[in-house]
Amino acid sequence: MLILTILSGVALLVPLVVLGWALANIARALEGIVSSLEKVAMGVRAIERETAPLAGEVTTLNDTFEALAGGFGSVERNVRRIVES
């Protein structure tokens, strides 16, 4: 009876040890992922900080392009008039 009790205890401990080992491996993998994600987040923040001054310039650039686009109609009319002459 004592041997059966000891074997039952061992049978209970073996899966628990394997489970603990597997969970430790998973924890190590997750720590690596967290480290990578922290680096990505830091890079995104750096890009955001470096590109923040562009917001005002893009609006100015868009206005300039709109003015240029309006001038293309005039260029087209002049070219057509020259070609038709």
State residue 32's pLDDT score.
Answer: 94
Residues 28 and 2 in one domain: yes
Residue 70 has pLDDT above 80, yes or no: no
pLDDT for residue 20: 97
- pTM of this prediction exceeds 0.85: no
pLDDT confidence of residue 79 = 87
Tell whether 25 and 4 lie within a shared domain.
yes
Q: What value does the mean pLDDT take over residues 10-32? A: 96
The string of DSSP letters for the chain reads -HHHHHHHHHHHHHHHHHHHHHHHHHHHHHHHHHHHHHHHHHHHHHHHHHHTTHHHHHHHHHHHHHHHHHHHHHHHHHHHHHHH-
What is the total count of domains within the chain? Answer: 2
Inform me whether the pLDDT recorded for 84 exceeds 90: no
Q: Are residues 27 and 58 in the same domain?
A: no
Q: Are residues 58 and 38 in the same domain?
A: no
Looking at the structure, tell me whether residues 19 and 35 fall in a common domain. Answer: yes
| Mean pLDDT score, 45-60 | 88
Let me know whether 19 and 46 are in one domain: yes
Domain that holds residue 84: 54-85
